[in-house]
Amino acid sequence: MKIRKAVITAAGRNQRSLALQQLVDRDGEQKSVLRIIVVEALDAGMDEIYVIIHPDDQAAYEQAVTRHAGRLEFVPQTDALGYGHALYCAREFVAGESFLHLVGDHLHVGRGAKGCARQLVESASAEDCAVSAVQHVRESQLPYYGTVGGRKVPGRPDLYTVEQVIEKPSPTLAEEELMVPGVRVGHYLSFFGVHVLTPTVMEILTEHVTQRRGDESVGLSRALAELASRERYLASGRLGWCYDVGVRYGILKAQLALALCGNDRDEVLSHLVELLAQREHGGATV
């Protein structure tokens, strides 16, 4: 499997401003969330990157990615019909190829020298099938994620065969449908914001868009559940850490994660120690 194209979705109502937020990256340079995601895709070996945006956002997004703007193609999602529909907008760009998919409001920190996207691309290439990154989450976090059920691949402790996908399941439904043997009780495998998907996903999304009724939203989790029934589909865990910048304190957590694994780690730790000491001493300067 050759993967050379990436699709970043950033058209959602809540994603639009998040992708433009400025953070200090691991190299100490200030960058937008979108630019950090684009760099991760480029580091994963992508030759072409498609960004799905709201129709009014192209100028702001081009400015947000600075020198990388010439390597991207921005395409508007003219009808807000859901996450799956946003990805469907890239069907002509994908043109029958497998592709990397990243979400415009999630940042990642890999466990080692390789980024999460690069690790996933290498895994999908080796396994020759679709692979989604997943993370272990507690039951209380299920309302925030699409979650998978399945079983471990023999001899591969961090690789799972996906058998079911449910978007934001209730704890009761998750316990009935999504428990994975070997995963700690009360924990589940939820999406991480990085996928390598096959052309079959676009075929399924095309069917869903064509068959939708009224103002029905087209979701991605439903399409991925159908993918699992059509062809081999895996989930890969423990690639690193994911930070959703759209949740409460999400920007803060992402910034701390980037800083603590970057060039300014010692400086940031010193500031944190100083801040905690000030709080301990009632605001007095230490």
Helix 199-211 × helix 220-230 angle, to 10°: 120
Task: Indicate whether 286 belongs to any domain.
Answer: no
Element (H, E) at 196: strand 187-197
Task: Indicate whether 240 belongs to any domain.
Answer: yes
- Position 282 pLDDT exceeds 90: no
Alpha-carbon distance of 115 to 113, in angstroms, equals 7
Task: Indicate whether 285 belongs to any domain.
Answer: no
* Average pLDDT estimate for 51-67: 93
Structure tokens at 276: 């905690």
Structure tokens at 241: 């850490």
- Position 111 pLDDT exceeds 90: no
| Domain with 196 in it | 5-280
DSSP character for 71?
A: G
- Position 280 pLDDT exceeds 80: no
CA dist 18 → 11, 22, 138, 174 (Å): 11, 9, 25, 29
Single-letter amino acid, residue 164: Q
Alpha-carbon distance of 125 to 127, in angstroms, equals 6
Task: Indicate whether 31 belongs to any domain.
Answer: yes
| Domains: count for the chain | 1
> Three-state SS string across 93-114, please?
HHCCCCEEEEECCEEEEECCCC
Structure tokens at 51: 């960004």
* Average pLDDT estimate for 88-111: 95
- Position 284 pLDDT exceeds 60: no
CATH number at residue 171: 3.90.550.10
Task: Indicate whether 64 belongs to any domain.
Answer: yes
pLDDT of residue 215: 83
- Position 235 pLDDT exceeds 80: yes
What is the pLDDT confidence band of residue 283, given thresholds at 50, 70 and 90?
low
What is the pLDDT confidence band of residue 286, given thresholds at 50, 70 and 90?
very low
Per-residue pLDDT reduced to its tens digit, 188-206: 999 999 999 999 999 999 9
Task: Indicate whether 34 belongs to any domain.
Answer: yes
Per-residue pLDDT reduced to its tens digit, 117-168: 999 999 999 999 999 999 999 999 999 899 999 999 999 989 999 999 999 9
What is the chain's mean pLDDT, rounded?
Answer: 93
What is the pLDDT confidence band of residue 271, given thresholds at 50, 70 and 90?
confident
